[in-house]
């Protein structure tokens, strides 16, 4: 199936590699991060590279000249999703956004330039390739690809895609989101069609602080969704709660966060449920050269940029957050991480280390002194 409007997209996508958005270098997957101390040397080496690259960029931009000592992570004010006041350059460009993009791009290029990394989706293992292609949505009219990440506003982005394709009249229509119908996934196309779109279309994804995303998934799936309680919750309780292994009456609606983390430690990251699979494994930012990586923390600003970049009609806006949505606050995340046994957290972080490092998120501060506050 050939693109429906190839001439229409030339003015939007042929120029993707110019401007302030820096392109990423292609490459692949870190494989499964195991619960072994053998991973620590390579992780530490990588973090040194990432940190030095980010520091050099900050020096180049003069960002360290007026930097104040940051407050502890737990007491920092969370950025608003919409209506942020940002520093802007003489041309009106968002300086903070440009610098963050450049840091992410430089970090990804450094990591993905390693010899052992695959350089395209065709270099991935069959399972890795299947995962990423099943998470990339296609719009041929506006010539873009969007890799959706569960718990990172993906339902609202799917609404936007349905409006752009004409399947929905408005992003504000009050209906339950069907996550499959009226959407075109890259995995449904032939190899030559996939290659064409990966080469010529504008590609974007959105990321979120890894532990915040994990906690959001835990609270939603095990606190509200009965199907997840039965499928995953009952198994987790039977496996990790003493004295419940043989009980058939377990409902799985009272899984603790500690039990959930123990379950994650025993899971292969490449076979996890998509709601807690690392973002890296879902979207393979080394194997797919994304043109823009937005963040949940700046959802309003970054979504507006993407809609402008793809040439969306003026009436298409990113949806407001649903009134029933319960956000994960800094205080809530602080509570859950600080009540988690330190040993479990130390073993959990390596599974998500690429999400922290590549997307410029600091590791959580759960020292005894910090947690007392």
The 10s digit of each residue's pLDDT in 163-219 is 999 988 888 777 666 667 889 999 999 999 999 999 999 999 999 999 999 999 999
pLDDT band at 320, cuts 50/70/90?
confident
Burial level of 327, CB count in 10 A (0-12/13-18/19+)?
exposed
Burial level of 337, CB count in 10 A (0-12/13-18/19+)?
buried
pLDDT digits (tens, 9 = 90+) for 212-259: 999 999 999 999 899 999 999 999 999 999 877 667 778 888 999 999
Nearest alpha carbon to residue 337 among 326, 323, 348: 348
Distance CA 299, CA 280 (A): 19
In the structure encoding, which two tokens stand for residue 133, read together? 């292609």
In the structure encoding, which two tokens stand for residue 262, read together? 């123990």
Question: What pLDDT is attached to residue 208?
Answer: 97
| DSSP SS3 for 145 | strand
Cα angle vertex 14, ends 8, 17, to 5°?
Answer: 150
Average pLDDT over residues 259-274: 97
DSSP characters over 246-305: T-TT---S---HHHHHHHHHTS-GGGS-TTTS-HHHHH-TTTS--SEEEEGGGHHHHHHH
Nearest alpha carbon to residue 353 among 41, 94, 74, 83: 41
Which element (helix H / strand E) includes 235?
helix 234-240
Q: 358 near 278, Cβ under 8 Å?
A: no
pLDDT digits (tens, 9 = 90+) for 4-37: 444 444 434 443 333 333 333 333 444 444 443 3
Q: 201 near 140, Cβ under 8 Å?
A: no
| Residue 261 backbone phi and psi in degrees, to 5 | -65, -40
Q: 344 near 265, Cβ under 8 Å?
A: yes
pLDDT band at 338, cuts 50/70/90?
very high
Is pLDDT of 337 > 50? yes
pLDDT digits (tens, 9 = 90+) for 107-133: 888 888 888 887 899 999 999 999 999
Distance CA 11, CA 294 (A): 22
Average pLDDT over residues 326-331: 89
> Among all chains, which residue has been given the structure tokens 């695959």?
118
List the end-to-end C-alpha distance of the chain, in Å, as a whole number.
58
Q: What is the reported pTM? A: 0.76
Q: 252 near 238, Cβ under 8 Å?
A: no
| Residue 319 exposure: Cα atoms within 13 Å on the Cβ side | 23
- Give the residue with greater pLDDT, 115 vs 3: 115
pLDDT digits (tens, 9 = 90+) for 75-110: 333 333 333 434 544 444 467 778 888 888 888 888
Q: 143 near 7, Cβ under 8 Å?
A: no
């Amino acid at each position: 199936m050939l693109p429906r409007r190839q001439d229409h997209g030339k003015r939007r996508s042929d120029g993707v590699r110019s401007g302030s958005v820096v392109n990423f270098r292609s490459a692949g997957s870190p494989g499964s991060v195991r619960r072994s101390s053998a991973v620590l040397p390579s992780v530490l080496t990588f973090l040194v590279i990432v940190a030095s690259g980010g520091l050099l960029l900050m020096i180049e931009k003069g960002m360290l000249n007026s930097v104040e000592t940051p407050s502890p992570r737990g007491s920092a004010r969370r950025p608003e999703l919409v209506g942020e006041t940002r520093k802007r350059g003489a041309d009106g460009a968002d300086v903070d956004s440009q610098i963050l993009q450049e840091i992410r791009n430089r970090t990804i290029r450094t990591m993905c330039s390693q010899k052992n990394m695959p350089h395209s989706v065709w270099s991935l293992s069959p399972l890795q390739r299947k995962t990423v292609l099943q998470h990339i949505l296609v719009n041929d009219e506006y010539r873009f690809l969007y890799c959706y990440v569960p718990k990172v506003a993906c339902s609202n982005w799917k609404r936007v895609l349905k409006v752009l394709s004409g399947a929905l009249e408005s992003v504000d229509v009050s209906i339950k989101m069907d996550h499959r119908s009226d959407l075109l996934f890259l995995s449904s196309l032939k190899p030559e069609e996939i290659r064409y779109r990966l080469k010529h279309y504008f590609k974007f994804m959105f990321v979120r602080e890894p532990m915040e995303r994990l906690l959001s998934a835990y609270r939603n799936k095990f606190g509200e969704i009965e199907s997840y309680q039965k499928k995953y919750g009952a198994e987790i309780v039977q496996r990790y709660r003493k004295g419940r292994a043989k009980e058939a009456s377990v409902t799985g609606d009272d899984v603790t966060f500690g039990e959930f983390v123990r379950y994650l430690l025993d899971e292969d990251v490449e076979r996890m449920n998509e709601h807690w699979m690392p973002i890296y494994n879902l979207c393979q930012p080394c194997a797919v050269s994304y043109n823009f990586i937005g963040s949940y923390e700046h959802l309003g600003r970054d979504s507006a940029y993407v809609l402008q970049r793809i040439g969306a009609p003026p009436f298409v806006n990113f949806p407001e957050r649903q009134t029933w949505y319960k956000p994960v606050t800094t205080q809530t995340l602080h509570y859950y991480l600080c009540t988690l046994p330190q040993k479990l957290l130390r073993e959990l972080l390596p599974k998500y280390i690429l999400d922290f490092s590549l997307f410029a998120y600091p590791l959580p501060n759960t020292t005894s002194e910090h947690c007392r506050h």
